Amino acid sequence: MKGKLYTVYVFSVLATKRFFRDRLALFFGVLFPVIFLFVFGSFSSQSANTHLSVAVINNSHTQLAAQAEKLINSSSTFKVDKTIVTVAEAHNMMDENQLDGLIILPSNFGALVNNRPQGTAAVYYTLNNVQAGQTLAALLTAEFNIVNRHFVNYTGPLKVVSRATTKKSLTTFDYTFAGLLGFSIIGIGIFGPVNVFPELKKQGILRRLHTTPLKVWQYFTATMIAQAITGLVSLFVMFMFAIFVFHLKVTGNYLSIGLFMAYSIIAILGIGLAIGGWAKNERQAAPLANIVVFPMMFLSGTFFPRYLMPHWLQALTGYLPLTPVIDGARLLTTAGYSLVQIAPQIGLITVWIVIVYAIAFRLFRWE
């Protein structure tokens, strides 16, 4: 038994060295997920700081109108385009969906009526941007109410009190990062064997290995160890960029995260071993891999949260192999859960490991 385990060790070392010596494998295994991290991380950061883009046309010369315009310009809610100076320009920008709304302060805005300044700002928006326009009007009303209290001392019978909870909610980037971890694991666990195995069969390497005492379980175990090592290196690089560039706050235990990631890589790897081990060439492997991968990428929460899906679809996609991987990674990384608390996700991953490796052993062909 010691000799068999030594064989596993030797093949795992060889597979790991082959990965780090292959520039193409390094690019797609390490750098490519980082590129996706930068792209989607930038989108997430931008969406988290989204402002309503508006133009302000001030037709009044009163002091109150000047104060109102200054209030809108200094507000953190609005992003004022100061290059727009005419109503026609603003309407053209709204028609092209480059502007959420237009605020016009009429010529009588701030004029005295019964020794009290009066004014009604007009908010314009397009029919296909009604929600943004209504939000703009509500926010502007809230801003003006602050000013109104300086002129009218009124307290209504109904009040609203806001209080912050003691917990922080997950940010858009938290969801994005967990999904990108799943995307990286797919690349490591599925596309790796799908690309390598047919090439090894084409070169006759697996056929020659079959003439040796090497067993399928030894070859699979060595591949699992090598892929887990290279996968953790790739994920480590992603974590470093996410923490230092996008300020990801990891609240979970790093050891628990590492163990869960390695277990997840092994689970997804079983799908790659089943497809790559069965396919005789790339023409068979590539289409089947795409059929398996694309539904998981779009339905498991890789690129957008599953809570945006209908409830019936959430229930179905919850059983996909990648879904517990992404959910578990999110709970461990940003919610501070322990391995015991994500037992349902680990249990589902274990079920899939049994299924996919049973299929992989059954379908594997040396040539």
What per-residue confidence (pLDDT) applies to 355? 92
Q: Give the span between the Cα atoms of 275 and 216, in whole angstroms.
A: 15
What per-residue confidence (pLDDT) applies to 264? 92
Domain segments of the chain as ranges: 2-46+170-363, 51-145
Q: Is a pLDDT exceeding 60 seen at residue 283? A: yes
Say which residue, 331 or 211, is predicted with more confidence: 331
Tens of pLDDT, residues 332-343? 988 888 899 999
Tens of pLDDT, residues 112-166? 777 777 888 888 888 777 777 788 788 778 777 776 766 666 555 555 555 554 5
Residue 90's closest CA among 122, 57, 65, 61? 57
Say which residue, 151 or 357, is predicted with more confidence: 357
Answer whether CATH 3.40.1710.10 is correct for domain 51-145: yes
Mean pLDDT (whole number) for 285-294: 82
Q: Is a pLDDT exceeding 80 seen at residue 1? A: no
Tens of pLDDT, residues 83-117? 888 888 888 888 877 788 888 888 888 787 777 77
What per-residue confidence (pLDDT) applies to 165? 45
Mean pLDDT (whole number) for 292-309: 81
Q: Is a pLDDT exceeding 80 seen at residue 366? A: no
Tens of pLDDT, residues 203-229? 777 778 777 777 887 888 888 888 888
212 φψ region: left (φ > 0), alpha (ψ -120 to 50), beta (else): beta
Q: Please name the amino acid found at residue 275.
A: I
Tens of pLDDT, residues 34-75? 787 877 766 655 555 557 788 888 888 888 888 888 888 887
Q: Is a pLDDT exceeding 80 seen at residue 344? A: yes
What per-residue confidence (pLDDT) applies to 361? 85
Summary mean pLDDT of the chain? 80
Tens of pLDDT, residues 162-218? 555 455 556 667 777 888 888 888 888 887 777 777 777 777 777 787 777 778 878
